[in-house]
Structure 1
Amino acid sequence: MLRVSSRSAVVRSLLSGIRRQSTKDATVEDWTINPLELGEENVSHMYCVPSGDVKTVFPTSLPSQFSTQTTSIGEMCWILRRQSYQMMQELKSFDATQPHNFRYLLYGADGSGKTICLHQVLHYCVKAGWLVVFVPGVFSWTHSDRELRPSTRVPGTFDQPDTATAWLKAFRTLNSHFTSQVQLSRDWQWGKKDHSLAGEEMNKVIDMGLLKPALATDVVVALLEELVLSSGRFNIMLAVDEFNGSFSPTTLRNQQKEWVGPEQLNLIRCLLQHIPQFPGAVLLSLSRSRMLRCSAPGWTPDHLLNGGTVPNERKLESRAILDSCRAVEIPPYTRQEMERCLDYYSQRRWITTDVSQAVLNELWHLTSGCPKTLQRMCASL
């Protein structure tokens, strides 16, 4: 297989001396649109995210390559994938007071756009007034050099003060209009001196977790439990990217320099505790792009949640979650989607040379429609 650098060289050689008019069928939506207003006619077209939402909804959770492009171009635009649109349509009829089965597991080849699809659905939920519980990357929890502290609450497990603090900040930014509405259902004892009383606003509890990082992990645990108990008052979406990281080896070690398993991390334990019976919508995504200390021969749910990367003693747990979700494959771009993406790059001068039909054919051949590969190759054109 050609390396990306050599692939780009092939395309650059084709570009030399070639100029053409824009592809006739390539249409770029060069306007901003509220995701609540998206319709069937927008599927497989580009649309832009309101600039204010970029900082609120997606401050640090987007793939680094896509974030770099967004910063360089000065706006966030992406292709509305059909899978995202179909999930948005289903969420329109979601009723928190009624039985439901919105439990999806996104999977697909490396770089196919699973994280972007997840973000598109999250953006819809935020604009529709949902409370969103979002874990932007489990591997950022399990492959981290941040502090690991033995738990005083659950022997043999570990808290992650800095990781929990960062998550609480992001949660409050994303759900600022909800944190004062959720009140504690019971008293919580955080330590010998710190406690919170039933009826206290969750906003105050989050403040305490931010001021005292040693308590931040326990605050996250309490927050998720209280949100589950508040179900029915408002719509809640639980979204987790890189979910298979909950069952894959970590790069963390304890004080004895022994490897720590993900099941020993209280943030992971709390997450897995609530997923099976979570009362709101659940959207999980799989990825092997940032896996360390192990490798998977494939990218299917069976490879990543039931394969060799999952310890045998945990396969029953991972399989139960897998069986409870509807698996949705995120495919590469269609030829039409790729051409619309290229036309957008040209309009925004991300590509500074006109693209010939020969180059289009070569890009399609070299990338097979993979969004990440296409983006990487075009960055050098």
Structure 2
Amino acid sequence: MLQTRLILSTTSALRLRTLPCLREERRFRKRVAQPLLPPPITVNPDQYSAVTEGGAGGSTSSYFPPLSAFRTSQTDPAKLDKSHLGRFYTVDNEFYKGVMNPIQCYPPEFRQNCSTFGEVCVMIRKPFVDIKSCIEASDMKKPVIRYIIYGPPGSGKTMTMCCLAHYGFVQEYILVNVPWAPLWTRFNKEIVQSPTRPGFFDHTINAVTWLTHFKIQNAKLLTQLDLKTQKRYEWSKREETSEGSNLLDIVEHGIARPAHASECIYALLSDLKSLSSNQKCKTMVLIDGINALYYECIKIKRPDRTLVPPNMITAFEAFKEAIKPDWSGGVVVSTVDKLAGQNEIRESDLPRYLLTKDGWEHFDPFIPVRVENYTSQEVQTTIDYFLDRKWLQHPQAGSEFGRIELEYLSTRNPLTLMKLCNFR
């Protein structure tokens, strides 16, 4: 008993002796954990010259540039060129909310920022300007030119597609826009056997959603052009769409009858190819994450629980027919993305790897367009925009040290920079 008391008293004494040491260690760790920020940089406004719309002036190493250095007053995407590279242009709310479906077409981080800032601003980058210049220089009487946008995740492939959709809408292209193809493979709500194609399977709810999206984007233009169907379509023994009917009749029938929605997509895209080849309209096909259409869908199974191959899905075959170079009077732009593929197919972001053998043979030939991460100038422009919107609240965020830290931590990746600035 006495030995136990001695041991307890000795242990208590050791604890009392080590308490001051622990307190000092905690204080030291707290001091070390605090960031060592440099003193604020004083900026002389006189060293910056005015910036005109044609290009940027003043010192290239300057921080806190004037408003026009990171924003352009040009809102028409058809008039944007290389002189606007690296600057933000404003997208009107009529297109953002009325034509495009923000929930499907834009990344969630971008939508959150637009809601917070009260405006929709997109940076003008080189891939968009290059593709736009090629479209303007191409001959619409020749077979369609196909472009594949690729790059690392978060580099801006989807935003480039959104800029091209805005350009196509302004230039009166009929938009065949598939916002994110993996939604058809991962979040399919209902799969049924095709009533018209033996062995094929149809998306019902997804197809109705896409037809509604197509109608919202193109209803005004289709009404003006008054396009007609090119042949007779028989949906069932009692339902048909006669030749020469309004093209919107196919869309309306697919929305009203979900069982025929996938077949209506096939008929709609087939007629649009014929009408574009006859120069009655211009069509722009935009498919984000198209490599998902060439993988086996692990969530789409037959009644005997075997997987359905992608070439036995009606909607997938309709979209693949739309990107074939057997028609003219339009353009095809697609993206390939690691995130659109399966988990075991994410080692490279190159089209040959992501499209697999079938997709590569189906697309060849095409023009590859790589979307890189931000340049140093684009990083500074983005930081200037966030500072202008009062999104960056840290007192050192606009200093030279703060800018270098943000550029280093984000590795110049647009998505990483956007997420990083949400916590500053």
Q: TM-score, normalised by structure 2?
A: 0.80
Partner of 1:84 in structure 2? 128
CA distance in structure 1 between the aligned counterparts of 2:367 and 2:379, rounded to whole angstroms: 27
CA distance in structure 2 between the aligned counterparts of 1:32 and 1:146, rounded to whole angstroms: 42
Cα displacement string for residues 170-227 of structure 1 (whole angstroms, at most 9, x for unaligned residues): 1111111233422111111001211010111011221111111111111111100100
1:154 shift after superposition: 1.6
Alpha carbons 1:250, 1:293 under 8 Å: kept: no
CA distance in structure 1 between the aligned counterparts of 2:297 and 2:201, rounded to whole angstroms: 13
Matches within 5 A, 1:292-303: 292=342, 294-303=344-353
Matched, 1:23 2:63: yes
Matched, 1:74 2:118: yes
Partner of 1:264 in structure 2? 312
Instruction: Give the SS at the match of 2:368.
Output: strand
Alpha carbons 1:34, 1:50 under 8 Å: kept: no
Gaps of 5+ in 2: 1-33, 44-61
| More RCO (CA 8 Å, sep 6+) | 1
Amino acid corresponding to residue 86 of structure 1 in structure 2 = D
Partner of 2:26 in structure 1? none
Matched, 1:346 2:346: no
Matched, 1:172 2:215: yes
Instruction: Give the SS at the match of 1:175.
Output: helix
Partner of 2:3 in structure 1? none
Amino acid corresponding to residue 80 of structure 2 in structure 1 = L
Partner of 1:209 in structure 2? 254
Cα 1:151–1:330, aligned 2, differ >3 Å: closer, same or farther?
A: same
Residue in structure 2 matching 1:304, options 349, 354, 364: 354
Cα 1:19–1:75, aligned 2, differ >3 Å: closer, same or farther?
A: farther
Larger Rg: 2
Residue in structure 2 matching 1:99, options 142, 146, 170: 142
Partner of 1:38 in structure 2? 80
Partner of 1:332 in structure 2? 373
Partner of 1:6 in structure 2? none
1:121 shift after superposition: 1.3
Cα displacement string for residues 284-319 of structure 1 (whole angstroms, at most 9, x for unaligned residues): 11111243453321111122013xxxxxxxx2x312
Cα displacement string for residues 213-253 of structure 1 (whole angstroms, at most 9, x for unaligned residues): 11111111110010011012122111111010011232423
Matched, 1:244 2:270: no
Q: Which moved more, 1:317-326 or 1:337-346?
A: 317-326
The structure that is helix-richer by fraction is: 2
RMSD value over aligned CA atoms? 2.2
Matched, 1:371 2:411: no
CA distance in structure 1 between the aligned counterparts of 2:158 and 2:362, rounded to whole angstroms: 19
CA distance in structure 2 between the aligned counterparts of 1:237 and 1:378, rounded to whole angstroms: 35
Structure 1's consecutive aligned runs of 4 or more residues displaced over 4 angstroms after TM superposition are 12-22
Alpha carbons 1:187, 1:195 under 8 Å: kept: yes
Gaps of 5+ in 1: 1-11, 307-314
Q: Which moved more, 1:52-61 or 1:255-264?
A: 255-264
How many positions carry a matched residue from both structures? 361
Seq. identity, %: 24
Partner of 2:190 in structure 1? 147
Residue in structure 2 matching 1:189, options 206, 230, 234: 234
Matches within 5 A, 1:110-125: 110-125=153-168
